[in-house]
């Protein structure tokens, strides 16, 4: 795929680099759900995973390849034969398959990580890109740690990759080290010196260690890059990657400045952000550009006054443009399945009959406790009931007794691998009682690193959303739960995090080395 001069190709790597965020591991089902939403969002390429890293990742990439038709499905591979073949086997059934091979080029990586000479790296680039080219209609080559590499060596490496058949050359700022000026100069240098560069797409892949990932990507575009690699909510290794929503909205809002466009349906940005946040368990910071809870809030009196007189005084884009609808008062206790389904469809969720029934049953339970159900409530139910890892632990019931004069006591019933167990226990407070009881009855062993509660909508009957983070040795898992009863939400969140941890342990036990 070669970009036209005014079109920016959006290469989404939420399912690969995004999945490298601590705790963000996704199973097959979850990756397919995110990939389908990315297709609706309109990304051009989906990097679905690193197939050689584990059988689970191979299966997930293959499942995405089978389910998505409108985007190129890319598998990542090092420049090794078995990596390339495994990646190809995972993506080959896609309507539009692609391979992305990479090797590091900086002196520091050559000396300490690869223990290879420059000549050996060059040879490996020619051979591996050649193999990819024989297999795949779409081939990208990346020079890992490009921004700390010798520029003339990069010229040789990229020239060799193009000569061997790469249609896209990617310049990663792997450790988030460069700045906009330097990156502009590097891309301009490559554009001048690399043989055949005008026949291929120049791509950039920036990390956010200094908070410059998006700025660096835009700067590279000004120097002639036409593909941006990015993730939803900017998730990714360490400080994350260029955030898709920021890059896309910069071109959208400042058409006057750039005169460039993407294929993204911007009204799908917010639903995609919510989905990814829920599936990975990584919350979006409130002041995050475009998708943060405060991104469209006007707090200062003087701002509110101006905004009410004329929106454009303090608003450079509308919330509707990125898919943040007004939170509607939608349904109540007497609403039926049909009405719920209609509302779900208008929010962009098209559920099977089986899934609709699950959501409807939960909706009925909540509408008994809460008079008015808003869009955000429904969304929380869908995300929790439909998009979650298969459950080893299933919470059945909790009962909590607490107050000023009693010792907080919890009674909990959980199904573990199909077998129901019950237990009661005490704690310093009601949440502590619930958590201690669940840990006691399951024998689950991990440290609780974070516990946070937020309210999904306003009012004292609002659903609470609880996020917990567990840590076991080097593994982190994040769980979320929601319910009008904050203790039920807390129990759901813990059980969700436990399930995610079990899933990650199972995945790790069969894993070969990662990036
Ligand atoms: O950051 C990086 O260099 C990468 C490569 C695999 C493109 O993720
Ligand atoms: Zn990366």
Tens of pLDDT, residues 222-241: 999 999 999 999 999 999 99
Contact 219 CB / ligand 1 (< 6 Å) = no
Rounded distance between C-alpha atoms, residue 495 and residue 501, angstroms: 10
User: Helices 151-164 and 180-193: crossing angle, nearest 10°?
Assistant: 50
Contact 183, 173 (CB under 8 A): yes
**Distance (Å) from CA 100 to ligand 1 centroid:** 10
**Distance (Å) from CA 240 to ligand 2 centroid:** 8
Kindly tell me the sign of the dihedral angle through the C-alpha atoms of 414, 417, 421, 423. negative
Instruction: Give all strands (DSSP E) within 371-514, no chain letters.
Output: 373-374, 393-401, 409-416, 419-426, 447-455, 464-472, 475-483
| 86 occurs within a structural domain | yes
Query: What pLDDT shows up at residue 153?
Result: 98
Average pLDDT over all residues of the chain: 91
Strands 409-416 and 419-426: antiparallel
- Does residue 511 register a pLDDT over 60? no
The answer on 146 and 203 residing in a single domain is: yes
| 200 occurs within a structural domain | yes
Rounded distance between C-alpha atoms, residue 428 and residue 432, angstroms: 6
User: Domains in the chain: how many in total?
Assistant: 3
The answer on 134 and 49 residing in a single domain is: yes
Query: What pLDDT shows up at residue 477?
Result: 84
Binned at pLDDT 50, 70 and 90, residue 426 comes out as very high
Contact 382, 376 (CB under 8 A): no
**Distance (Å) from CA 271 to ligand 1 centroid:** 27
The answer on 404 and 344 residing in a single domain is: no
- Tokens at residue 92, please? 């080959």
Contact 100 CB / ligand 1 (< 6 Å) = no
Query: What pLDDT shows up at residue 464?
Result: 83
Contact 142 CB / ligand 1 (< 6 Å) = yes
**Distance (Å) from CA 243 to ligand 2 centroid:** 12
**Distance (Å) from CA 197 to ligand 2 centroid:** 22
DSSP character for 447? E
| 293 occurs within a structural domain | no
Binned at pLDDT 50, 70 and 90, residue 398 comes out as very high
Query: What pLDDT shows up at residue 330?
Result: 62
Contact 383, 348 (CB under 8 A): no
Q: What share of the chain is helix, strand, coil (3-state, %, to 5)?
A: 45, 20, 35
- Does residue 333 register a pLDDT over 60? yes
Q: Among all chains, which residue has been given the structure tokens 């499905």?
A: 73
The answer on 48 and 154 residing in a single domain is: yes
| 157 occurs within a structural domain | yes
Contact 270 CB / ligand 1 (< 6 Å) = no
Residue percentage of the chain with pLDDT more than 90: 66
Query: What pLDDT shows up at residue 235?
Result: 97
The answer on 483 and 342 residing in a single domain is: no
The answer on 228 and 89 residing in a single domain is: yes
Q: Which ligand is nearest to the CA of 149?
A: 1
Q: What are phi and psi of 6, to 5 degrees?
A: -105, 10
Q: What are phi and psi of 500, to 5 degrees?
A: -65, -40
- Does residue 512 register a pLDDT over 80? no
**Distance (Å) from CA 216 to ligand 2 centroid:** 14
Rounded distance between C-alpha atoms, residue 442 and residue 431, angstroms: 17
Q: Among all chains, which residue has been given the structure tokens 């499942």?
A: 63
CATH code, 198 = 3.20.20.70
- Does residue 453 register a pLDDT over 80? yes
Domain end call among 215, 248, 280:
280
Contact 513, 501 (CB under 8 A): no
Atom number, ligand 1, closest to the C-alpha of residue 20: 8
| 33 occurs within a structural domain | yes
- Does residue 199 register a pLDDT over 80? yes
**Distance (Å) from CA 241 to ligand 2 centroid:** 7
User: CB count, 10 Å around CB of 63?
Assistant: 18
CATH code, 446 = 3.30.160.270
| 429 occurs within a structural domain | yes
Contact 253, 305 (CB under 8 A): no
Atom number, ligand 1, closest to the C-alpha of residue 229: 7
Show the domain range for 147.
Answer: 9-280
Contact 205 CB / ligand 1 (< 6 Å) = yes
Rounded distance between C-alpha atoms, residue 201 and residue 211, angstroms: 25
| 68 occurs within a structural domain | yes
Instruction: Kindly give, in sequence order, each residue whose CB lies less than 8 Å from that of residue 472, ignoring residues fewer than 6 positions away.
Output: 445, 446, 447, 501, 505
Q: Whose CA is nearest to atom 8 of ligand 1?
A: 17
Contact 174 CB / ligand 1 (< 6 Å) = yes
Q: What is the mean pLDDT of residues 121-126?
A: 98
The answer on 374 and 412 residing in a single domain is: no
Binned at pLDDT 50, 70 and 90, residue 481 comes out as confident
Report which secondary-structure segment, H or E, holds 346.
helix 337-346
Binned at pLDDT 50, 70 and 90, residue 299 comes out as low
| 442 occurs within a structural domain | yes
Burial of 451 (0-12, 13-18, 19+ CB in 10 A): middle
87 closest CA partner among 53, 122, 114: 53
Q: What is the mean pLDDT of residues 408-425?
A: 95
Q: Which ligand is nearest to the CA of 109?
A: 1
Atom number, ligand 1, closest to the C-alpha of residue 146: 3
Domain end call among 280, 312, 327:
280
Atom number, ligand 1, closest to the C-alpha of residue 515: 6
Which residues on neighbouring strands pair with residue 479, listed in sequence order?
A: 468
Strands 139-144 and 97-104: parallel
Rounded distance between C-alpha atoms, residue 369 and residue 386, angstroms: 21
Query: What pLDDT shows up at residue 308?
Result: 77
Query: What pLDDT shows up at residue 329?
Result: 52
The answer on 267 and 334 residing in a single domain is: no
The answer on 262 and 170 residing in a single domain is: yes
Which of 144, 146, 157, 241 most suits a substitution to test ligand 1, by most atoms within 8 Å of the C-beta? Answer: 144
Q: Whose CA is nearest to atom 5 of ligand 1?
A: 144
The answer on 397 and 365 residing in a single domain is: no
- Does residue 368 register a pLDDT over 80? yes
Q: Whose CA is nearest to atom 1 of ligand 1?
A: 174
The answer on 462 and 427 residing in a single domain is: yes
Contact 229 CB / ligand 1 (< 6 Å) = no
Contact 27 CB / ligand 1 (< 6 Å) = no
- Does residue 389 register a pLDDT over 90? no
**Distance (Å) from CA 241 to ligand 1 centroid:** 10
The answer on 415 and 373 residing in a single domain is: no
- Does residue 514 register a pLDDT over 60? no
Domain end call among 357, 385, 413:
385
Binned at pLDDT 50, 70 and 90, residue 310 comes out as confident
Binned at pLDDT 50, 70 and 90, residue 1 comes out as low
Query: What pLDDT shows up at residue 324?
Result: 85
Distance of CA 175 to the CA centre of its chain: 19
Rounded distance between C-alpha atoms, residue 486 and residue 479, angstroms: 15
**Distance (Å) from CA 115 to ligand 2 centroid:** 21
């Amino acid at each position: 795929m070669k970009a036209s001069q005014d079109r920016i190709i959006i290469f989404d790597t939420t399912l690969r680099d995004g999945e490298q965020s601590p705790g963000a591991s996704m199973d097959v089902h979850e990756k397919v759900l995110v990939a389908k939403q990315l297709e609706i969002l309109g990304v051009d390429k989906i990097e679905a995973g690193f197939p050689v890293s584990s059988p689970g990742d191979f299966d997930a990439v293959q499942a995405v390849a089978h389910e998505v038709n409108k985007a190129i499905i890319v598998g990542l591979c090092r420049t090794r034969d078995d990596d390339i073949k495994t990646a190809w086997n995972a993506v080959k059934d896609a309507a539009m398959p692609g391979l992305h091979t990479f090797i590091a080029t900086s002196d520091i990586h050559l000396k300490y990580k690869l223990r290879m000479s420059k000549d050996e790296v060059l040879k490996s680039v020619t051979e591996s890109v050649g193999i990819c080219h024989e297999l795949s209609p779409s081939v990208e080559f990346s020079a890992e740690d490009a921004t700390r590499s010798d520029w003339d060596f990069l010229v040789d490496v990229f020239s060799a990759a193009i000569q061997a058949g790469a249609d896209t050359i990617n310049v990663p700022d792997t450790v988030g080290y460069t700045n906009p000026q330097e990156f502009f100069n590097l891309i301009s240098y490559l554009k001048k010196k690399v043989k055949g560069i005008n026949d291929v797409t120049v791509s950039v892949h920036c990390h956010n260690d200094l908070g410059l990932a998006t700025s660096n990507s835009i700067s590279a575009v000004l120097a002639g890059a036409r593909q941006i690699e990015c993730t939803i909510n900017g998730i990714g290794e360490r400080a994350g990657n260029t955030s898709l929503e920021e890059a896309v909205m910069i071109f959208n809002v400042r058409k006057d400045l750039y005169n460039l466009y993407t294929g993204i349906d911007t009204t799908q940005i917010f639903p995609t952000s919510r989905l990814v946040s829920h599936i990975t368990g990584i919350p979006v910071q409130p002041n995050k550009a475009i998708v943060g809870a405060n991104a469209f809030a006007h707090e200062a009196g003087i701002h509110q006054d101006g905004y009410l007189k004329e929106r454009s005084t303090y608003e450079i884009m509308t919330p509707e443009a990125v898919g943040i609808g007004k939170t509607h008062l939608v349904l109540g206790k007497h609403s039926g399945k049909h009405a719920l389904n209609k509302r779900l469809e208008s929010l962009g969720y098209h559920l099977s009959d089986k899934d609709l029934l699950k959501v409807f049953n939960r909706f009925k339970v909540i509408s008994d406790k809460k008079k008015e159900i808003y869009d955000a409530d429904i969304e929380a139910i869908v995300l929790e009931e439909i998009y979650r890892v298969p459950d080893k632990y299933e919470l059945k019931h909790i009962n909590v007794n607490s107050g000023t004069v009693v010792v907080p006591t919890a009674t909990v019933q959980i199904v573990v691998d199909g077998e129901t167990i019950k237990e009661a226990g005490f704690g310093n407070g009601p949440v502590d009682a619930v958590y201690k009881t669940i840990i006691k009855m399951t024998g689950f062993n991990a440290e609780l690193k974070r516990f946070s509660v937020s309210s999904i909508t306003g009012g004292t009957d609002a659903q609470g959303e609880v996020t917990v983070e567990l840590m076991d040795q080097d593994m982190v898992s994040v769980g979320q739960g929601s319910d009008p009863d904050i203790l039920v939400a807390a129990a759901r969140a813990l059980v969700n995090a436990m399930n995610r941890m079990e899933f990650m342990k199972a995945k790790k036990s069969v894993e070969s080395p990662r990036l």
